[in-house]
Amino acid sequence: MKRLFLTIALVFGLVATAAAQINVGGRLGVNMSNFRGEQTDDFSFSLGFNAAVAGKYTINSMFSAAPELGIDFRRVTNSEEDDFTFSAWVLQIPLMFRANLTPEFYVEAGPEIGFILSSKAEFEGPNMTEEEIKAFESNFGNTMTEFNMFEDTKTFEFGIAAGLGYMVIPNLDVNFRFVMGFTNTFEDLDLGLGGSEEVDVQHMQISIGATYWFL
């Protein structure tokens, strides 16, 4: 009976300790996204944003796991030649692991999976005459045409994220993060490669954000 009570007390103690090690917060950030791969030299980083619910499980004083569930809005532009912009809304799930180098400063890394919810392309004619502009405006309402890219975009993506952060105050972290995608963004698509074929284009992103831990 004594051992039973000790076992129950130990279990409750472990549960209470685990609960005390779990934090929940919210993260807001701005991002700069781009493409990498074949025929992507003309593309450039463009501004977007992300927001997420974050969790943190402290393993010990040095290591912790910090998964997130968030929404990411990303843009990539090719303004040098075609005034082309690709944008997408993505459900983003980073599974980050942190190592504290000091009580305030940490590094983090881990896999990141995403599910593209919607995507589109916008194209604006760069050298249109006044007559062409008027014709475009009469047909489309402006000189910008939009194309739904969701059918040409792969739904699932996988990448690796890494970064560093700093605890400004006990409940507020700021961090810098870099994401390298490893899955092709598009299905069969013609991006100037000659015909419709699977193109070698992956996503990459840099992000600066802040996480407030309210629990």
Q: For 123-150, what is each residue's pLDDT tens digit?
A: 765 555 666 556 655 555 555 577 788 8
14 in a structural domain: no
pLDDT in tens, 15-29: 444 445 899 999 999
41 in a structural domain: yes
131 in a structural domain: yes
Per-residue pLDDT at 157: 95
Domain tally, the chain: 1
Residue range(s) defining the domain that contains residue 55: 26-213
pLDDT in tens, 57-91: 999 989 999 999 999 999 999 866 657 889 999 99
66 in a structural domain: yes
User: Residue 60 sits in a domain of what CATH number?
Assistant: 2.40.160.20
75 in a structural domain: yes
- Which comes out higher in pLDDT, residue 14 or 183? 183
SS3 of 2, please?
helix
pLDDT in tens, 148-207: 888 888 999 999 999 999 999 989 999 999 999 999 998 766 544 445 566 788 999 999
